[in-house]
Amino acid sequence: MVFSSALIENAVNEFAKLPGIGKKTALRLVLHLLKQEPAQVEIFGDAMTRMRRQIKFCKHCHNVSDDEVCTICNAASRNNGVVCVVESIRDVMAIENTQQFHGVYHVLGGIISPIDGVGPDQLNIHSLVERVKAQQITEVIMALSPTIEGDTTIYYLSKKLKETPVKITTIARGIAFGGELEYADEMTLARSLTNRLPLENYLQQGK
Amino acid sequence: MVFSSALIENAVNEFAKLPGIGKKTALRLVLHLLKQEPAQVEIFGDAMTRMRRQIKFCKHCHNVSDDEVCTICNAASRNNGVVCVVESIRDVMAIENTQQFHGVYHVLGGIISPIDGVGPDQLNIHSLVERVKAQQITEVIMALSPTIEGDTTIYYLSKKLKETPVKITTIARGIAFGGELEYADEMTLARSLTNRLPLENYLQQGK
């Protein structure tokens, strides 16, 4: 692509480094910014720089936070005895969006995956074990993806936590709402049959 | 969407203001930036701010430029006697990418469109007429979109330039390369028949 301005070319190249954004989209975004007021563009640039410079990671749960301890760990209304173990910050957001979970989180920062060179030491596993040992934690919910890596991580964590009296649970696997039976894979369908629920439970959850 | 950090929420909201970027994509981009080094994110933010603050518009052709006069108008190798009239900066880039045009440009900054409230006075039309009158310009090529607005603008410009001896041409309309005849609209097909070319021309262009 030929640019008549080095400033534009530079901005386009920076945008194109973002995932899923090619040169053409980058150019469209830059030309959009070009139409905005300089002050507005400054706010945009500042928001990114400030976010990266000032963001902290909660010392308890490793979630992103504006302070030492995140708003979730700090909230008096949350049950500190129930810890939901997730892979990433995005999973925290996904669960928070459901507004159904009132415990706290523990962000592993990844998942055990030897192929990608991610072992237990690169993850926030030690701090989870320490947390369970030191605090009054009654339940650890494993909310990891139902993949081989996810199951490996669950298995590893459960062995690490075996010495503690904590109850370990996993989120339910089954047919998603809106999902059609015939398109479900056999394993999910088999599991959802094994873990079938009494009708009262189902109706109650629908409320 | 629930964010546990105001910094992240702010950054996501800024990204989501860009065209074609929703909240989910914005979050993905922000989480990507979060994984980068702070210095790298600073470079990103800076590129946008600097681009908007320092960009200039060429005083001759209104193209974006790092200086008073753009690199195209300044180039000794370009033919200043042939001016290609385009709607926007993006069209300049598209034509430059073909590497087939060696004249200079004139960016109108839009197209006459009463529905959108864009009249001739909002466009860089006066400066084009002045330019044609003052300089040794032999040909003005109208490279505008083949829409009603484009044709209206061409008609308006041709009336404005009538007093000058300049030759006015438009880019060829016809069947695009790779386009199939049966899917072409009737008007384009009819025009491409009327403006048919001798075979020698066609073969020469293919080279």
CB contact under 8 A, B31 and A63: no
Query: In terms of Cα–Cα distance, which of B75, B66, B146 is closest to B104?
Result: B75
Residue with tokens 């129930």: A82
In angstroms, the separation between the Cα of residue A158 and the nearest Cα of chain B is: 28
- Res A205: pLDDT: 63
Query: In terms of Cα–Cα distance, which of A105, A98, A100, A99 is closest to A72?
Result: A105
- Res B205: pLDDT: 63
Name the residue type at position A104.
Answer: V
- Helix B38-54 and helix A23-35: axis angle, to 10°? 50
Percent of chain A with pLDDT over 90: 64
Beta strands in B3-103 (DSSP E): 56-57, 64-65, 82-86
A134 burial level (CB within 10 Å; 0-12, 13-18, 19+): exposed
Structure tokens at A45: 């640039």
In angstroms, the separation between the Cα of residue A96 and the nearest Cα of chain B is: 6
Dist. CA B137–CA B81, nearest whole Å: 4
Which chain A residues contact residue B49 at CB under 8 A? 38, 41-42, 44-46
Structure tokens at B132: 């044609």
Which domains does chain A carry? 6-54 (1.10.8.420), 76-171 (3.40.1360.10)
**Spatial CB neighbours of A68, under 8 Å, sequence gap ≥ 6:** A56, A58, A59
State how beta strands B56-57 and B64-65 pair.
antiparallel
| Angle made by CA atoms A140, A143, A145, in degrees to the nearest 5 | 145
Q: Contacts from A170-176 at CB under 8 Å and sequence distance 24+?
A: A170/A141, A170/A142, A170/A143, A170/A144, A171/A141, A171/A142, A171/A143, A173/A146
Dist. CA B92–CA B58, nearest whole Å: 13
Query: For an interface test with B, which of A51, A58, A72, A105 has the most B Cβ atoms less than 10 Å from its Cβ?
Result: A51
Which chain A residues contact residue B65 at CB under 8 A? 4-5
- Res B147: pLDDT: 87
pLDDT in tens, A84-135: 999 998 899 889 888 889 999 999 999 999 998 999 999 999 999 999 999 8
Where chain A has pLDDT below 70, the residues are 205-207
Dist. CA B48–CA A20, nearest whole Å: 19
State how beta strands B139-142 and B167-170 pair.
parallel
In angstroms, the separation between the Cα of residue B147 and the nearest Cα of chain A is: 21
Dist. CA A23–CA A174, nearest whole Å: 41
Query: In terms of Cα–Cα distance, which of A2, A168, A39 is closest to B90?
Result: A2
Which chain B residues contact residue A17 at CB under 8 A? 44
Query: In terms of Cα–Cα distance, which of B177, B170, B130, B165 is closest to B154?
Result: B170
- Give the chain B residue whose CA is nearest to the CA of A96: B2
Element (H, E) at A206: helix A199-206
Query: What Rg, from alpha-carbon coordinates, does chain A have?
Result: 22
- Res B206: pLDDT: 54
CB contact under 8 A, A96 and B6: no
The most distant pair of C-alpha atoms in chain A lies apart, rounded to whole Å, by 68
CB contact under 8 A, A51 and B34: yes
A64 burial level (CB within 10 Å; 0-12, 13-18, 19+): buried
Q: What is the dihedral of CA B33, B35, B38, B39, to 10 degrees?
A: -80
Which chain B residues contact residue A91 at CB under 8 A? none
CB contact under 8 A, A28 and B20: yes
- Res B120: pLDDT: 92
Dist. CA B122–CA A29, nearest whole Å: 23
DSSP state of B160: H
Q: What is the DSSP string of B47-72?
A: HHHHHHHH-EE-TTT--EESSSS-HH
- Give the chain A residue whose CA is nearest to the CA of B3: A93
Per-residue pLDDT of chain B in tens (207 residues, 90 and over written 9)? 777 788 999 999 999 999 999 999 999 999 999 989 999 999 999 999 999 999 999 999 999 999 999 999 999 999 999 999 999 998 998 898 888 899 999 999 999 999 989 999 999 999 999 999 998 899 999 999 888 999 999 999 999 998 888 999 988 888 787 778 788 888 888 888 888 877 777 677 655
